[in-house]
Structure 1
Amino acid sequence: MTLLLAAAVALLALLPLGFVVAGMADVGWAGVRELVFRPRVAELLGNTARLVGGTVLLCAVLGVGAAWLVERSALPGRRVWHVLLVAPLAVPAFVNSYAWISLLPGLDTYGGALLVVTLSYFPFVYLPVVAAFRGLDPALEDTARGLGLSGPAVFRRVQLPQLRVALLGGSLLVALHVLAEFGALQMLRYPTFTTAIYDQYRATFNGPGATALAGVLMLLCLGLLLAELRLRGRRGYARTGAGVARAGRPVRLGALAGPALLALGGLVALSLAVPLGSLALWMVRGSSTALDRSALLETTGTTLGLAAVAAAVTTAMALPTGWLAVRARGRLATLLERSTYLGSSVPAIVIALALVTVSLEVTPWVYQTVPVLLAAYAILFLPRAIVTVRAAVEQAPPLYDDVAASLGSSPVDRLRRITLPLLAPGLGAGAALVFLAVVTELTATLLLAPIGTTTLATAFWSASSALEYGAAAPYAVVMVLLSAPATVLLSRDARRGLTT
């Protein structure tokens, strides 16, 4: 039974891939060639590649540099800097874009798009690199210095190779997020595949042009996944000696302490102070700030309700996959688990198009209903729940379940009285991650939400698209406040071990 449920979840996750492949097959090679090999697609490919490449490079430099200062230097106030460097994740990228474009209308250029997405996504590199720095044994660095290597040489020859997996993983997250980004880039009027698919969908209602662009975008995502896997390699960097790694001595910056503080302060100001300051400004001075409080409360209630149901449904769907991955290890269990990751790597707009097509052609009675929207949320955020569920199953001893079975307890009774209580912390953490992600989800909600259903993200989008920045500000503020707990969770564990 568990295997069948996990297989059903994997099929749902792979639905967008099947949709694109089937759509391209229907068009035929001649049609695909006509739709894909044209100047507009080449322009979109150039724009997307430039933005992805530039963002990954800048995020890598900022993330690694900030992580080194926080973990390896004697910088004053490292705990505070760590929290401030993670905090930008509480501000959705499209809210960040709104903050900048409302203050600087001329920012709708490649440079503006590069600035906004970099400031939004550099924590995706910073967080894994900080964790990797914390796991390195400082004895290797001390030995290298004892052999006469300079500080930069120690970083390049000792530290950087051991940060390879964390850096590649964070860079992959950044690249996938940029490929899938819609709201921020649409607001900045920077055309990429995602914005072009949305425009094509609105113009032709899911015609072959949108399907062809979705196919190219999906191939780019899969190419990134394969490239990261190949670059990561199989070389390990785990410490295998006896005992525990001793604490290292922070590197004193000397005359560079001032510039380092100035650089971190500038990064925090641009990524956090500017968007929050812009929201505060529009809340106070916006001419369109007159807002119906009942509308804000109703929209907030709708968002929280959808997020709560999506969190419960997605976590329940993650349970059989996470259980099989631990208790029935094997190729089939691994394949089912990886299928959910592959499906979620597809941009939200492709997932939405797939569900629109399926609901219209196969189950027209569910088109533009809440279940279709919940299915999109599940495909997008299943890995967040599966990771926490799997960790909980790893820590739950199977002995208790075996003892209960030997005493005659039924499977349902064991699930209710033993399994679920043991997995409760992991299930709760996974549900919380999905809940916070749904609160700020924009693209799939725009395309799939039932008529009359408005969330905080779509209400914000409607107001900001009409240049009613004051009216959009309250919705953005509520989203930031609801997203703030994620920042606390991400920075809490990393705070331990840092010294001021």
Structure 2
Amino acid sequence: MRPDHFRRTSRLRLRSGATAASWPLLAVASIVALFSLLPFGFILWVTVDVGWETVKALVFRPRVGDLLVNTALLEITTLPVTVILCIALAWIVERTDLPMAGLWSWLMVTPLAVPAFVHSYAWIGIMPGMKGLWSAVLVSVLAYFPFLYLPIAATLRRLDPAIEDAAASLGLGPWRVFFRVILPQLRLPVLGGAMLVALHLLSEYGLFVMIRFDTFATAIVDVFQSAYNSPSANMLSGVLVLCCGLVLGLDLWLRGRERYARVGTGSIRPPVRQKLGGWLLPAHLLLATITALALGVPMVTLAHWLWFGGLAIWQGDGVWSAFAQSIGLALAGGILATMVAAPMAWLSVRAPGRYQKLLESCHYYVGSLPGVVVALALVTITVRVALPLYQTFATLIAAYILLFLPRAIVGLRASIAQAPVELERAAMSLGKSPARAVWATTMRLAAPGAGASIALVAMGITNELTATLMLSPNGVETLATRFWSLTSEIDYAAAAPYAVMMVILSLPLTLLVQTQSRRSTGQ
């Protein structure tokens, strides 16, 4: 047998082995995709079930109009402020001669460790009269600006300084270089971060309830608490899903087909940091003010209530029971979500195709849905179809998997892409079945990525409020739900330990995100 014939035969065997490995995973990924379509199917089902006349009566009414106006005002007020603020903060930290820039970089990301509803709790603690749109905008900016700061700062670290040097050599001053060269290259991270903030504004419940600002999420939970399986809540969920779809569609339209890429590695030297000169003091004041408002206010408020409550608020089993249940649910949800995401992550890297891209879109879209919509869908489905599953751990974990499935896929996909496919082929050539070859090579090498995915999902579950409130079984109280229960009773001192524990659990994962961001840019 000729050597070239042997090589062709080996390639065919390995290719057929890879195909054989993809079929079982494709079947599992298809099942997960159908599962992720449950919330969307629920909206369609309820719309058809109640009839067009009921839909018109529940959707085309003044209350829905008021909520739409509130939502639009919140979005168009918060997003521009957040974008401008984050571009300024990222530029000062990453591109100027700011002293202790590394420390400021960490401080700009740390507010992610404080749940949004803890931010509102802190502000209400020092200013009990806060309410309305402008209070909602203030707290939203402080709670969510790191989602924009992270991608903008990472992009500024990656930009090729040679392009800026070329623009300067053509006679452009520093400001014109910024607006004509640097700012256009920030378009994609700005749009991506703005989309995340916009979706969080649509889905947030606790922050706006405490600020007394009505949104679709607060209205849905209010209706749900007054009447389970209410057609009114279901229709409000449908409108909220349409709002999410509008945000995603607007993001795709604004992104267009433009891309900013270069062939080669570009300049290997870091960009020259601009001298602040007389702007040094204003830059420090801006950074210090944001840090004080986003971190100082929550920390001072928590310290005040902890001091006021004394040791008594730590006594009893409430705090530690909620802590244990939160850890248990976070670990269970993180592990299961990562396991469910693994087939799709492998397929997207090893066996891409049109059908696989469709499945991947189904996995991702559910992450854009508010927790209240996912929870309401599962409530309605379990009540009407599978009543024994209503308010069980299985339904609660299912909600967590749906909500945080995209987080699990992202970490896994990156790790699988870094694992050499040749190892899978070598294992199959030695007689291992495709499934065993994948498990013995790629999945073991992807273990660090799986750990990161579990951690990201666990952090989300620890701070998740609305779905847990609506779906948790009787007697189950997490740190978030227990905190919410006590703040609803205006017992801010007793609620403080639960807020502190949530911050403590989230802080290491937040710092991990910042570390990974800097490593990805070689810093």
TM range (shorter): over 0.9
- Aligned partner of 2:391 in structure 1 is 368
Query: Is residue 2:92 matched to residue 1:69?
Result: yes
Q: Where do 1:99-498 residues align within 5 Å?
A: 99-241=122-264, 244-286=267-309, 290-495=313-518
Structure-2 change in CA distance of 1:358 and 1:498 (3 Å): closer
User: In the aligned structure 1, how far is the partner of 2:282 from the partner of 2:430?
Assistant: 68
Q: CA contact under 8 A between 2:154 and 2:518: conserved in structure 1?
A: no
SS at match of 1:237: coil
Q: Secondary structure at the match of 1:246?
A: coil
CA contact (8 A) 2:94 2:156 kept: yes
Instruction: Check 1:206–1:497 CA distance in 2 against 1; reply closer, same or farther (3 A cut).
Output: closer
In 2: Cα distance, 1:144 partner to 1:345 partner: 39
1:408-449 Cα shifts (integer Å, max 9, x gaps): 223454354333312211111111111111111111000000
Higher mean C-alpha deviation, range 426-435 or range 165-174? 426-435
Structure 1 match to 2:68: 45
Render the CA deviation track for 1:36-64: whole Å, top value 9, x for unaligned.
11111111111111112211111101111
Relative to 1, partners in 2 of residues 1:238 and 1:416: Cα closer, same or farther, differing over 3 Å?
A: closer
Distance 1:110 1:469, change over 3 A: same
Q: Name the CA distance, whole Å, in 1 between partners of 2:131 and 2:89.
A: 28
Whether the aligned pair in 2 keeps the contact of 1:182 and 1:195 (CA below 8 Å) is yes
Q: Which moves more between the two structures, 417-426 or 192-201?
A: 417-426
Name the structure 1 match of 2:80. Answer: 57
Partner amino acid, structure 1, of 2:209: Q
Q: By how many angstroms is 1:206 displaced?
A: 2.2
User: Are residue 91 (structure 1) and residue 118 (structure 2) matched?
Assistant: no
- Residues 373-395 of structure 1: CA deviation (Å, up to 9, x unaligned): 00100011001110111111111
**Aligned partner of 2:331: which letter?**
A
Give unmatched runs, 5+ long, in structure 2. Answer: 1-23
CA distance in 2, matches of 1:392, 1:496: 14
Shift of 1:74: 1.1
The offset of 1:456, in angstroms, is 0.4
Residues in 2 aligned to 1:131 and 1:280: alpha-carbon distance in whole angstroms:
33
* Shift of residue 150, structure 1, vs aligned partner: 2.7
Displacement of 1:249: 1.0
Distance 1:345 1:402 in 2: 37
- Residue 6 of structure 1, aligned match among 26, 29, 38: 29
> Is 1:81 the equivalent of 2:104?
yes
Percentage identity across paired residues of the two chains: 48
CA distance in 2, matches of 1:243, 1:256: 30
In 1: Cα distance, 2:27 partner to 2:416 partner: 19
In the alignment, residue 233 of structure 1 is paired with which amino acid?
A: G
The TM-score, its normalising length taken from structure 2, stands at 0.93
Check the 8 A contact 2:161/2:267 in 1, yes or no. Answer: no
The one-letter code of the counterpart of 1:21 is: L
Number of equivalenced pairs: 500
Measured in 1, the distance between the counterparts of 2:65 and 2:289 equals 36
Contact 1:7 1:336 in 2 (8 A): yes
5+ long unaligned stretches in structure 1 = none
Distance 1:444 1:242 in 2: 45
| Cα distance in 1 between the residues matched to 2:360 and 2:479 | 32
How much does 1:292 deviate? 3.1
Alpha-carbon distance in 1 for matches of 2:260, 2:243 = 29
Q: Is the Cα contact below 8 Å between 2:337 and 2:401 reproduced in 1? A: yes
User: 1:145 and 1:75, CA in 2 relative to 1: closer, same or farther beyond 3 A?
Assistant: same
Alignment deviations for residues 427-474 of structure 1 (CA, whole Å, 9 cap, x no partner) = 111111111111111110000000110000000000011010000000
More displaced 10-residue stretch of structure 1: 280-289 or 302-311: 280-289
Q: How far apart are the structure 2 equivalents of 1:299 and 1:286? A: 18
Q: How many angstroms apart in 2 are the aligned matches of 1:135 and 1:157? A: 17
Displacement of 1:495 in angstroms is 4.9
Measure how far apart 1:494 and its partner are: 4.6
Deviation at 1:151, TM superposition (A): 2.4
Distance in 1, Cα, partners of 2:516 & 2:239: 39
Conserved? CA contact 2:131–2:213, under 8 Å: yes
Deviates more, 1:482-491 or 1:407-416: 407-416
- Alignment deviations for residues 293-329 of structure 1 (CA, whole Å, 9 cap, x no partner): 4221111111101111101100000001101111111
Larger Rg: 2
Quick check: 39-48 or 27-36, which moved more?
A: 27-36
Q: Deviations over 1:206-259 (max 9, x none)?
A: 211111111111001011101101101111211225654432211111111111
Letter in 2 for 1:163: L
The CA RMSD measured in Å over matched residues stands at 1.8
Contact 1:288 1:470 in 2 (8 A): no
Preserved contact between residue 79 and residue 495 of structure 1 (Cα < 8 Å): no
1:493 Cα offset (Å) = 4.0
Q: Which amino acid aligns with 1:324?
A: L
Cα gap change, 1:401 to 1:250, in 2 (>3 Å) = same
Q: Separation in 2 of the partners of 1:287 and 1:410?
A: 61
Shift of 1:289: 5.5
AA aligned to 2:352 is R
Distance 1:396 1:102, change over 3 A: same
Which letter maps to 1:326? V
Q: After superposition, what is the alpha-carbon deviation per residue over 1:183-228, rounded to whole angstroms, capped at 9, x for unaligned?
A: 1111111100100011111122121111111111100101110110
Partner of 2:42: 19
Distance 1:415 1:246, change over 3 A: closer
